[in-house]
Amino acid sequence: MYRTAAIFRRELRLTDNPLLEGVEAGEFVPVFFLDDYNQQEHGDSLRALFFHALRQLAEGIERLGGRLYVVPPSEQERFWDAVRPDEVRFCEDVEPYSRQRDEQLIPHLQARGIRYRILRDSLLCPVPNTTYPSFTQFYKRHFLPNVTLGTPVPIPQRLYTPEVDVPVVAIPQVDAEPACPWYATEEQVQKRWQDFVEHGLAHYSERRNLPSVPGVSRMSPYIRCGMISLRQMLRDAWGVREQFVKELAWRDFYSHLLVHHPETVNMELRPEWRGFPWRHDEEHFERWAQGRTGIPLVDAGMRQLLQEGWMHNRVRMVVASYLTKHLLIDWRWGERWFYLHLVDADLAQNVGNWQWAAGCGADAQPYYRIFNPVLQAQKFDPQAEYIRQYVPELREATSEQLADLENLHRLVPEYPEPLVMPDEGRRRFLQTAQQFFGG
């Protein structure tokens, strides 16, 4: 009987999963290699949700009659020798570590004469041969011509997994409070997505920038763990809301960028930014990280991150801009903090967006365009509902009082004075940038 092995990595679901295509016809050996990298590099919130998803996948596979093997990577060779599949399949990944891991895996398979197939799941379209200078060019010239809607892969009716003699390990149990509200079964994720399709998608363009209303899908943690199919999301949004399709395309844009520029994990994409005199002020950084900057919208965002492991995109842009521009602190510090605390932490998305916000990345704003966090709050949180939700000491303050940063601390003594006033921070950044770029 034909034996297929599938390496699960971040495609932790049964619905529309290319790893499961046609596997019910033969023997199927699903495996997850529990490697140390995932344990050490990722924050607790992501690890908690990820292992929760992995457990659910294992249970789902069991319900269909199969078994997911969770194997330490040190036992890989023994695993292949024991399983001897006709075919191995796994999905392409864009992170430098994963690409290196795949390069090491392939010779092991070839040496055993095992066929392998590399599938695509966490990307919507193939990685182009080159990078595009702007998102718009990427979208028009590469994304739209190459993206395919496809048809959903059906969930197998049954699975048959043979017994193989390999050491297995238990799925780790990670406790992280911010991850708890995100725990969901695959069916619940589907339900949340369907609710958004029915009630949110049509209003997405108008509501997506308002952090106090449920205007966005909140699917990013489930995308990160592969609990929902990106193709399914694309199919549902296609022809309904192009703005939403574009957001999914941004995801591909940053993922592709990481393939071509793995150095951007630590280094600015734009060479002219390398060596920029970022400040490494630990005290200011800590105040930012804990939501104690004295700038209400920034603090609300940073506290949302600590509480929920997630932050609204508009606010992510504002807090990243405040850190890198007003506080002049190295974007790498912010990127790391986000990475360790986000339940949707994704290397390509996080690095790409941080560099965009700092001005040194792809399609980034020119350095002299700096968000004013007070004006951003007035525009996108005009009734200050979001701020009041996450900064309880400001609950009684009116929107006018929140905008009056000079006097806010006097009015609410337990709320800190601004670390840097927006105008002052802006001036300092522009001066530093002009000196550095010689402008």
Ligand X SMILES: Cc1cc2nc3c(=O)[nH]c(=O)nc-3n(C[C@H](O)[C@H](O)[C@H](O)COP(=O)(O)OP(=O)(O)OC[C@H]3O[C@@H](n4cnc5c(N)ncnc54)[C@H](O)[C@@H]3O)c2cc1C
38, 41, 87, 313: which one is catalytic?
313
Nearer to ligand X, 220 or 264 (CB): 220
Given candidates 6, 57, 58, 317, which one binds ligand X under the rule CB under 6 A? 317
Given candidates 247, 299, 330, 363, which one binds ligand X under the rule CB under 6 A? 247
Q: In this structure, are residues 159 and 77 in contact, taking their beta carbons and an 8 Å threshold? A: no
- Torsion, CA 378, CA 305, CA 341, CA 13, rounded to 10: -100
- The whole-angstrom distance between residue 293's C-alpha and the CA centroid of its chain comes to 25
Q: Tell me, what amino acid is at 165?
A: D
216 binds ligand X (CB under 6 A): yes
**Total residues at the site for ligand X (CB under 6 A)?**
27
Span interacting with ligand X, options 76-84, 105-113, 292-300, 353-361, rule CB under 6 A: 353-361
Site for ligand X in 249-268 (CB under 6 A): 250-251, 254
Residue 290 tokens, joined: 């804990």
250, 288, 333, 356: which one is catalytic?
250
Please, what is the minimum distance in Å from the beta carbon of residue 255 to ligand X? 9
Span interacting with ligand X, options 157-165, 346-354, 369-377, 418-426, rule CB under 6 A: 346-354
27, 95, 186, 247: which one is catalytic?
247
Span interacting with ligand X, options 8-16, 169-177, 210-218, 264-272, rule CB under 6 A: 210-218
C-alpha distances (whole Å) from 27 to each of 81, 140, 330, 338 are 16, 42, 51, 41
344 binds ligand X (CB under 6 A): yes
248 binds ligand X (CB under 6 A): yes
Residue 372 tokens, joined: 């004013």
Residues contacting 228, CB < 8 A, separation 6+: 13, 15, 189, 190, 193, 219, 222
357 binds ligand X (CB under 6 A): yes
288, 331, 337, 356: which one is catalytic?
331
247 assigned to active site = yes
Per-residue DSSP letter, 154: P
Please, what is the minimum distance in Å from the beta carbon of residue 263 to ligand X? 19
345 binds ligand X (CB under 6 A): yes
Nearer to ligand X, 89 or 231 (CB): 231
Nearer to ligand X, 84 or 203 (CB): 203
Given candidates 161, 350, 355, 376, which one binds ligand X under the rule CB under 6 A? 350
42 binds ligand X (CB under 6 A): no
Given candidates 50, 51, 79, 354, which one binds ligand X under the rule CB under 6 A? 354
Q: Tell me, what amino acid is at 296?
A: P
Nearer to ligand X, 85 or 200 (CB): 200
313 binds ligand X (CB under 6 A): yes
293 binds ligand X (CB under 6 A): no
313 assigned to active site = yes
Interface map 165-204 toward ligand X (x if CB under 6 A): ----------------------------------------
Nearer to ligand X, 17 or 353 (CB): 353
Query: How far is 405 from 417, CA to CA, in rounded Å?
Result: 8
Exposed, middle or buried by CB within 10 Å (0-12, 13-18, 19+), for 113?
exposed
- The neighbour count for residue 271, using CB atoms within 10 Å, is 9
Q: In this structure, are residues 5 and 47 in contact, taking their beta carbons and an 8 Å threshold? A: no
Q: In this structure, are residues 127 and 256 in contact, taking their beta carbons and an 8 Å threshold? A: yes
193, 273, 354, 356: which one is catalytic?
354
Host H or E run for residue 312:
none
Q: In this structure, are residues 158 and 24 in contact, taking their beta carbons and an 8 Å threshold? A: yes
Counting Cα atoms < 13 Å in the Cβ hemisphere of 354 gives: 25
338 binds ligand X (CB under 6 A): yes
Per-residue DSSP letter, 3: E
- The neighbour count for residue 56, using CB atoms within 10 Å, is 21
80 assigned to active site = no
Per-residue DSSP letter, 87: E
Query: How far is 420 from 424, CA to CA, in rounded Å?
Result: 7
Residue 11 tokens, joined: 């495609």
24, 87, 238, 278: which one is catalytic?
278
Q: Please say whether the dihedral angle defined by the alpha carbons of residues 404, 407, 409 and 411, taken in this order, is positive or negative.
A: negative
Please, what is the minimum distance in Å from the beta carbon of residue 144 to ligand X? 16
Nearer to ligand X, 76 or 190 (CB): 190
Span interacting with ligand X, options 123-131, 220-228, 272-280, 414-422, rule CB under 6 A: 220-228
Q: Tell me, what amino acid is at 221?
A: P
Task: Identify the three-state secondary structure at position 171.
Answer: coil
Chain residues that interact with ligand X, rule: CB under 6 A: 208, 216-220, 223-224, 247-248, 250-251, 254, 313, 316-317, 320, 338, 342, 344-346, 349-350, 353-354, 357
Catalytic residues: 247, 250, 278, 313, 331, 354
